């Protein structure tokens, strides 16, 4: 159950996007010529796609948490009233 709305998989995917950006950018910077341009293009496309996946997953997680909260409130046991004095 998620209490704070953070999905571990979404965070992991975001970290993967950052690692891909750094790794592909470093690889592109170390090469000269056509391959450097190709890697630079990949460095901009791949991490953004991975990060988009993480954002979509996080949105779905937050929606699921909201629906679960609504269901819990709908089917929750009634709370005792403060002004009730019991059997008289």
The predicted structure's pLDDT at residue 87: 58
Per-residue model confidence as pLDDT tens digits over 44-76? 777 777 788 888 988 998 899 999 999 999 998
The predicted structure's pLDDT at residue 46: 74
Measuring CA to CA, which residue among 42, 50, 38, 48 is closest to residue 13? Answer: 50
- The pLDDT of 18-29, averaged and rounded, is 76
- The pLDDT of 23-33, averaged and rounded, is 73
Distances (CA, A) of 13 to 2, 32, 57, 59, 80: 17, 30, 9, 14, 45
Instruction: Give the domain ranges of the chain.
Output: 8-73
């Amino acid at each position: 159950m998620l209490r704070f709305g953070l999905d571990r998989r979404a965070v992991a995917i975001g970290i993967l996007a950052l690692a891909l950006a750094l790794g592909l950018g470093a690889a592109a910077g170390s090469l000269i010529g056509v391959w450097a341009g190709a890697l630079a293009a990949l460095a901009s496309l791949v991490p953004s796609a991975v990060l988009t996946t993480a954002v979509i997953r996080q949105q779905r997680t937050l929606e699921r948490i909201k629906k679960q909260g609504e269901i819990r409130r709908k089917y929750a046991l009634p709370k005792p009233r403060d002004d009730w004095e019991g059997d008289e």
